[in-house]
Amino acid sequence: MKEVRYKGCLIRANALRLRSGLWEAQVLIYRGQGSPINETPVYDQKGGVFPNAAEAEIHALALAGAWIDAQEE
């Protein structure tokens, strides 16, 4: 799991291993002080899978950053 802060949000990116052996990106965004009340799961609408956990986590971070940026528009 990777955690980073971006524009006042805490991003928790995780990779979930699938039965196929591929990896799926998962991400939660916490706004403010990281309270569970302000938790937002963000899903990859394309349903991408990745050959390893590191690539899935990198994708999850990019997905979260794009979601946060879109909230400002």
List, for residues 16-73, the tens digit of each pLDDT value: 999 999 999 999 999 876 565 577 788 787 778 999 999 999 999 999 999 999 998 7
Separation CA 13–CA 45 (nearest Å)? 16
Q: What is the pLDDT of residue 62?
A: 95
Q: Average the pLDDT over 3-17 and give the result.
A: 94
Q: Under 8 Å CB-to-CB from 55, ≥6 apart: which residues?
A: 23
Handedness of CA 41, 37, 61, 7 (dihedral sign): positive
pLDDT band at 13 (very low <50, low <70, confident <90, very high): very high
68: phi then psi, degrees, rounded to nearest 5: -60, -45
- Tell me the fold of 2-71: Double Stranded RNA Binding Domain (3.30.160)
Is the pLDDT assigned to residue 12 strictly greater than 70?
Answer: yes
pTM: 0.84
